[in-house]
Amino acid sequence: MQQPEARASLDERLARALVPFLDTATSPLLLAVSGGPDSTALMHAARSGGARVHVATVDHALRAGSGEEAAGVGRLAAELGLGHTILTWDAPRRASGIQAAAREARYRLLAGHAARIGAGLVLTAHTLDDQAETVLMRLMAGSGPSGLAGMRRERALAPNIRLARPFIDIPKVDLVAYCEAHRLPFLRDPSNADVRFARARLRTLLPLLVEEGLNAARLGRLAVRAARDDAALGQRADAVLSEIAGGEEETLRLDGHRLRREPEAIVLRVVDAALDRVTPDHETAVPKRLERLESLVLDALLPALAEGRALRRTLRGALIEADDKGIIRLTAAPPRRAGGVRR
């Protein structure tokens, strides 16, 4: 059994992690609670927020009994004096990519519910272990600093709604210990050990990496450092884009010769931001691929600018053209006709 002083230390640690969100929130808070140990600890620790704290459980209906599990979260929330809502994902399912689709649906449902109750902040219980797994998955996918920064502590979820992860620096084992110390019932999601899913397969490798010194804490520090560098690079890229951008309503024009004087890392980010500006809706429809951006910028655009050649390419729903005078123009690409040919 856990010693009283150890329990008090855990209680204080979780309370400190929640202080910035409980003490500064002026609108209701929405907690995303699945019933696992992490989110159960979040719900119990955040109950001090009183009536402003609301709880929602997303029932993905991916396995038998999920509805009763969500109802169980509701019963515990009621014991803690918190209101609870079950959000059911009832959309058609694809045969592949089910976890990614479920994640997208979860955030969409949470954002919609937050808007309905007037909550400006949604809290999830992602842990240091979740962050470490995310960093490793991004590393295997070939991500740059932005991807290796992992999950951000805070990010925009929807207009006027932010998502925050107060426990992102806390190991999962501590949250399990918190639940056990307070005798809180919690669930164990069988999909966490289902080797059909990449994240579950990765978990089987983590003990081997820990033996070599690559533990969750070190991966978490890598995420912090990558986020720091990512922010600095992003600020510089934003400044350069503001300096070199111009154009008409539907066309973004860039001074290619001025852009070419920047380091490649900044050029990549400037073009990336310019693409987002020209086709903002495309950003969420298709995942960004760093290698495709690198191919466009490093293998095609910069050599064309250096040699004074014209260039015409498409990427992420945008048409990118450079003329022999070094002017780059970005516009939304015309829609494709049947057969994959653009009009």
CATH code assigned at 77: 3.40.50.620
Cβ distance 270 to 237 under 8 Å? yes
Angle formed at CA 292 by CA 288 and CA 293, multiple of 5 degrees: 80
Cβ distance 156 to 107 under 8 Å? no
72 and 216 share one domain: yes
273 and 206 share one domain: no
Q: Is residue 93 part of a domain?
A: yes
The model's pTM: 0.86
20 and 148 share one domain: yes
264 and 183 share one domain: no
Cβ distance 117 to 156 under 8 Å? no
276 and 183 share one domain: no
Cβ distance 219 to 132 under 8 Å? yes
156 and 292 share one domain: no
Q: Which two tokens stand for residue 137?
A: 């998955």
pLDDT per residue over 260-281, tens digit each?
999 999 999 999 999 999 988 6
Cβ distance 218 to 68 under 8 Å? no
Of the three residues 220, 236, 267, the one that is the final residue of a domain is 220
For the annotated binding site for ATP, the residues are 34-39
For the annotated binding site, the residues are 34-39
22 and 141 share one domain: yes
Letter string b/e over residues 287-323, b meaning 16 or more CB atoms within 10 A of that residue's CB? ebeeeebeebbeebbbebbeeeeebebebbbbbbebe
Assess whether pLDDT exceeds 80 at residue 84: yes
Whole-angstrom distance, CA of residue 311 vs CA of residue 79: 65
Q: Residue 125 phi/psi, 5° resolution?
A: -110, 30
Structural domain range at position 132: 4-220
pLDDT at 305 (0 to 100): 97
Concatenated DSSP letters of 256-269: HHHHHTS-HHHHHH
Q: Is residue 56 part of a domain?
A: yes
127 and 262 share one domain: no
Residue 144 DSSP SS3: coil
Q: Is residue 279 part of a domain?
A: yes
pLDDT at 343 (0 to 100): 46
171 and 259 share one domain: no
pLDDT per residue over 165-221, tens digit each?
999 999 999 999 999 999 999 998 766 666 677 778 888 888 899 999 999 999 999
Whole-angstrom distance, CA of residue 325 vs CA of residue 255: 9
pLDDT per residue over 292-334, tens digit each?
999 999 999 999 999 999 999 999 999 999 999 999 999 998 8
260 and 202 share one domain: no
- Give me the sheet containing 83-88, strands edge to edge: 83-88, 53-59, 29-32, 121-123, 161-164, 154-158
* Residue 188 DSSP label: -
Q: Residue 317 phi/psi, 5° resolution?
A: 80, 10
Domain tally, the chain: 2
